[in-house]
Amino acid sequence: MRGKLDKALGRYLAARPGRAAVAVYDRVASTRYAYREREPFMLASVAKVDILLALALKAQKEGRRLTREERRTASRMIKVSDNDCAYELYRAIGGRDGLKAALREQGIRRIWPEHSWGTTLSRPSAQVKVLDRLTDPQGPLTPAHRRFALDLMSDVVPDQAWGVSAAAGAGKVALKNGWLPASAHDGLWTVNSVGRLQTGGHDLLLAVLSERSPAMGYGVATVEAVARLVVRTMTAQPYKQEP
């Protein structure tokens, strides 16, 4: 599977400008895959998922649930990708140092928070770990916080429901996307998508990160094609649990 997928992604991405990388974890089949993630990518609004995880963990450390105001702010941050709300919650968790500490406590490395949350750097596999801590029934979050996070990511506004969802078919999707014309890349586009796909008997945590696309739509097409290639290959032989 790995060799076949390496070749398919290599052929596709060779014809696309910029660069892209992907990581996936199938909880049901207990398989992992990563491609071309040696160099990190700017997260843009995907960093909002990291902030959400850190916020829930902070509340739990303080022995409480999220407040009504925190829930309202987090809801706008994820559902409509409100940047002001992200800034407010980033400050609440302690900014760059707070996010880094929260992730390190969960064993999540290969993420480099910045003073501006949107320029945080990460490898795709680190974002898969964030998704895992956020959604795993045996993970660090309480059932209430886990349900809250999944509900938000399952209800993003329609014009932001692109990306890894293109690979889900009729399955369930919880996702968050990020996009921006990056001044560090002369205005070329960073386009990212991460999420959980429950499809074909599989439970997939998927992160596709890309940069230097000539336009946002071009980057979206790249991310979606990579997601479809990965999911199609990972689910080619449906995994059946033992009775």
Kindly give the confidence (pLDDT) of every residue in the chain, 243 residues in length, as a single tens digit, with 9 standing for 90 and above.
Answer: 788 899 999 999 999 999 999 999 999 999 999 999 999 999 999 999 999 999 999 999 999 999 999 999 999 999 999 999 999 999 999 999 999 999 999 999 999 999 999 999 999 999 999 999 999 999 999 999 999 999 999 999 999 999 999 999 999 999 999 999 999 999 999 999 999 999 999 999 999 999 999 999 999 999 999 999 999 999 985 434 332
- pTM more than 0.75: yes
The fold adopted by the segment(s) 16-234 is Beta-lactamase (3.40.710)
pLDDT of residue 237: 53
DSSP 44: G
pLDDT at position 14, please? 96
Strand partners, 173: 197
Among 116, 95, 89, CA closest to 183: 116
Query: Residues 165-200, buried b or exposed e (16+ Cβ, 10 A)?
Result: bbbbeebebbbbbbbbebeeeeebbbbbbbbbbebb
Residue type present at position 2: R
List the one residue out of 68, 62, 57 whose CA is nearest residue 98: 57
Q: Which residues of 2-144 form beta strands (DSSP E)?
A: 19-26, 31-35, 41-42, 111-112, 121-122
Which pLDDT value is given to residue 2? 82
Give me the pLDDT at residue 88, please: 98
Q: What is the predicted pLDDT for the residue at 186?
A: 96
Residue 164 DSSP symbol: G
Q: Convert 215-228 to b/e letters by CB count within 10 Å (16 or more is b).
A: eeebbbbbbbbbbb
Where does residue 81 rank: exposed (0-12), middle (13-18), buried (19+ CB within 10 A)?
buried
Q: What are phi and psi of 141, to 5 degrees?
A: -85, 150
* pLDDT score recorded for residue 240: 40
Return the DSSP state at 39. S
Domain edges within the chain: 16-234
